[in-house]
Structure 1
Amino acid sequence: MSTIRITKQFDFEAGHALFGYDGKCKNVHGHSYKLSVTVIGKPITDMDNVKCGMVIDFGDLKRIVKQEIVDKFDHATVFNKNTPHIELANELKARGHDVRLVDYQPTSEMMLIDFAAIINAKLPENIKLHSLRLQETGTSHAEWFASDQE
C-alpha cells in the first residue's frame, strides 16, 4: 500500500515578546498564526474498519492539535518563564489574562520544536509526524521536518 501524507491547517491568535532581542519583537505584540500539520502513513485497508481508506481521520487529527496546541495557545500571551518577563506574566495573570509560560524563547522556530514533541506524543503508533509549518506573518514562516531531526 502506498504511503500518503495528510495535512490539516489550524489558525490561532497569540501574543509574545522576545526577551533580550535587539529589534521590535522585544515588545509585546501578536500574530495571526497558521499552523499546518502533516502526518504520514498508509491508508487503512480493513473493509470492516469505519476509517477504511484513511491514513487518519481528519477529525482525529483536528482533535489532537486543537486540544494540545490551539486551545492552549489561542489568544494567550507566551513568555519565556526564565526571563524577567515572568513579572509581567504574573501581573497579566492577576488581571485575568491568559498567559502561557514556556521554557524557551517563544519564536516560531522554538514553538515548532515544542509543538512537534506534543503532537508526536499523541499520534497513534502507525502515524508519524512528517512536518509542521508555522506561518507568523503573511511573508514569514518556519518549518519543522521529521527527516531533519534524525
Structure 2
Amino acid sequence: MSSIRLTRLFTFEAAHALQNYKGGCHNIHGHSYKLEVTIIGTPIVSETHPNDGMVMDFKELKKIVQETIIEPIDHALLLRHDAPLELVEALRHLSHKLVLTPFQPTCENMLIDFKQKLRHLLPPQVRLHSLKLWETEKSFAEWYASDNQ
C-alpha cells in the first residue's frame, strides 16, 4: 500500500518578545502565524470502517492541533519563563493571555515544542511528517521527521 501525506493549514495570532536579542524583536510584537501540519500514513482499507480510504480524518487532525497548539497560544503573548517579573505581574494583573515558555519563543523553538506535543497524540498508524510555521508572509521555519532520525 502507498504512503500518503496529509497537510492541514492552521492560522493564529500571537505576540512575542525575544529576550537579550539585539534588534527590534526584543520588543513585544505580533504576527499572523500560519502552521502547516503534515502527517504520513497508509489509507485504511476496510469497507466497514468509517474512515475507509483515509489516512486520518482531517476533522480528527484539526481537533488535535486546535486543542493542543492553537487554542493555548492564539491571541496570547509568548515570553520566556524568566521574563522580568514586573512585566509578567503587570500583564497578569491586566488579565492578558500570557504563555511563559521554557525556551526563547522563536519560530524554530515553537516548532520543536509543537512537534513534541503532537507526536504522541496521533493514531498509531499515522506519523508526524513535517511542520512549517510561517511567521510572516516571507519567512518560515520547517521541521522534518526525516531530518531528525
TM over 0.5: yes
Partners of 1:24 and 1:118 in 2: CA distance:
29
Give unpaired runs (5+ residues) of structure 1.
Answer: none
In structure 2, the partner of 1:60 is 60
Q: Please give the secondary structure, in 2, of the residue aligned with 1:113.
A: helix
Deviations along 1:61-81, one digit per CA (max 9) or x if unpaired, are 000000000101100000000
Give unpaired runs (5+ residues) of structure 2.
Answer: none
Q: Which amino acid aligns with 1:17?
A: A
Q: CA RMSD in A?
A: 0.8
1:1-150 to 2 correspondences below 5 Å: 1-84=1-84, 86-150=85-149
Q: Which amino acid aligns with 1:137?
A: T
Q: Which moved more, 1:86-95 or 1:97-106?
A: 86-95
Deviations along 1:77-97, one digit per CA (max 9) or x if unpaired, are 00000243x431221111110
Q: Please give the secondary structure, in 2, of the residue aligned with 1:128.
A: strand
Q: Which amino acid aligns with 2:35?
A: L
Stretches of 4+ moved more than 6 A in 1? none
Q: Please give the secondary structure, in 2, of the residue aligned with 1:122.
A: coil
Deviations along 1:19-66, one digit per CA (max 9) or x if unpaired, are 000010000000000000000000000111010000000000000000
* % identity of equivalent residues: 49
Alignment coverage as a number of residue pairs: 149
User: Aligned-pair distance for 1:125?
Assistant: 1.2
